[in-house]
């Protein structure tokens, strides 16, 4: 049982490049989400999903796309990277019932030059 697996751990992009952050969980969690963490700010929700085929926007969705074709996987796509997207990204998952204990991936440190 690996929990939440998030890759890559580090990434450097040039402005305008695109990339995909991968997130997979093996706990059969319905809820999966992506957050970004910036200095002096709390974790902010980018996108979330409550099941395969269902996604919705969070607080800061602009510049990011997601899809949920399976229960296990929830990739985050940066369409055209901008320096403002330099941040640490976390994927998290939980059940939709029973208290919603969150399980986090190990994070991705992204720098956009």
Give the footprint of another protein on this chain (CB under 8 A): 33, 35, 40-45, 50, 56, 88, 90, 92, 99-104, 106-107, 109
CB of 108 to another protein, least distance (A): 10
CB of 35 to another protein, least distance (A): 8
Q: How far is the CB of 13 from another protein (least distance, A)?
A: 19
In the chain, count H helices and then E strands.
0, 11
Task: Return the number of the residue (54 or 113) whose C-beta is nearest another protein.
Answer: 54
DSSP labels for 32-95? Answer: EEEEEE-TTS--EEEEEEEETTEEEE-SS-TTEEE--SSSSB--EEESS--GGG-EEEEEEEE-
Closer of 14 and 98 to another protein (Cβ):
98
Q: Minimal distance in Å, beta carbon 95 to another protein?
A: 11
User: Among residues 41, 25, 80, which one has the least CA distance to residue 33?
Assistant: 25
């Amino acid at each position: 049982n690996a929990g939440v697996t998030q890759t890559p751990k580090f990434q450097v992009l040039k402005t305008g490049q695109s990339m995909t952050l991968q997130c997979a969980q093996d706990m059969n969690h319905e809820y999966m989400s992506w957050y970004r963490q910036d200095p002096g700010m709390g974790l902010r929700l980018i996108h979330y999903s409550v099941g395969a085929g269902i996604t919705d926007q969070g607080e800061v969705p602009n510049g990011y796309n997601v899809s949920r074709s399976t229960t296990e996987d929830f990739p985050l796509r940066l369409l055209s990277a901008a320096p403002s997207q330099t941040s640490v990204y976390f994927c998290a998952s939980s059940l939709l019932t029973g208290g919603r204990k969150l399980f986090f991936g190990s994070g991705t440190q992204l720098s956009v030059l």
